[in-house]
Each structure stands twice: as C-alpha cells, then as structure tokens.
C-alpha cells in the first residue's frame, strides 16, 4: 500500500493494518521528511488520544492529514507505532 499526496509517496508498506476502513502504516514506512509535528490532539473512545502530523510537500501543507496513537489503549495496542492518513491523502495498492 502507498499513501500519496501532491504526487509524493508519504508512506509505502506491504504490512498495513486495516481498522475501521483505514490503513495504518508502520512508522518505518514513512517518508519522515514530509511530516511536521502538529499540536492537534483528539480522543477516540476505544483507541485513546491521537497525535497528528501535517503533511508538507513542495511547500504545500495538508494540516493534520496524518495521525497516530503514541500510547493506545489496550484494545488498540496493535496500532502502536502505526500511522493513518486522511484529508485527501490517497491510499493505493
């Protein structure tokens, strides 16, 4: 699977986890130079507190387009060290 935005591959892996229709990529699959820390945090009733990254490609910013759970709940432990994407990031095989 690949996560692509603005014609750049942000993540690529053959070992994503699919939860609630979203592909979670291992952090080792990320092109980290395309991500910047965000101050946004949200809460999921069963996964815990999510942190976000902005995706930045060729000077364009996709705010909070990538998220992860640094300390997921016991029920979501399998997504520790994984990230997911939205906000126009295309997920393709």
Tally the residues of the chain: 93
Alpha carbons 85 and 65: distance in angstroms, whole number: 6
Q: Which domains does the chain have, with CATH numbers?
A: 2-92 (2.170.150.40)
Task: Write down the pLDDT at residue 13.
Answer: 98
Task: Write down the pLDDT at residue 44.
Answer: 96
Task: Write down the pLDDT at residue 10.
Answer: 98
Task: Write down the pLDDT at residue 48.
Answer: 98
pTM reported for the whole predicted model: 0.95
Task: Write down the pLDDT at residue 59.
Answer: 96
Task: Write down the pLDDT at residue 41.
Answer: 98
pLDDT in tens, 21-80: 999 999 999 999 999 999 999 999 999 999 999 999 999 999 999 999 999 999 999 999
């Amino acid at each position: 699977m690949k996560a692509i935005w603005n014609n750049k591959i942000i993540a690529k892996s053959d070992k994503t986890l699919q939860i609630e229709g979203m592909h979670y990529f291992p952090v080792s699959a990320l092109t980290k130079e395309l991500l910047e820390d965000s101050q946004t945090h949200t809460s999921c009733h069963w996964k815990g507190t999510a942190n976000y990254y902005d995706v930045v490609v060729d000077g364009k910013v996709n705010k909070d387009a990538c998220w992860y759970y640094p300390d997921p709940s016991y029920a979501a432990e399998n997504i520790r060290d994984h990230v997911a994407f939205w906000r126009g990031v295309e997920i393709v095989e």
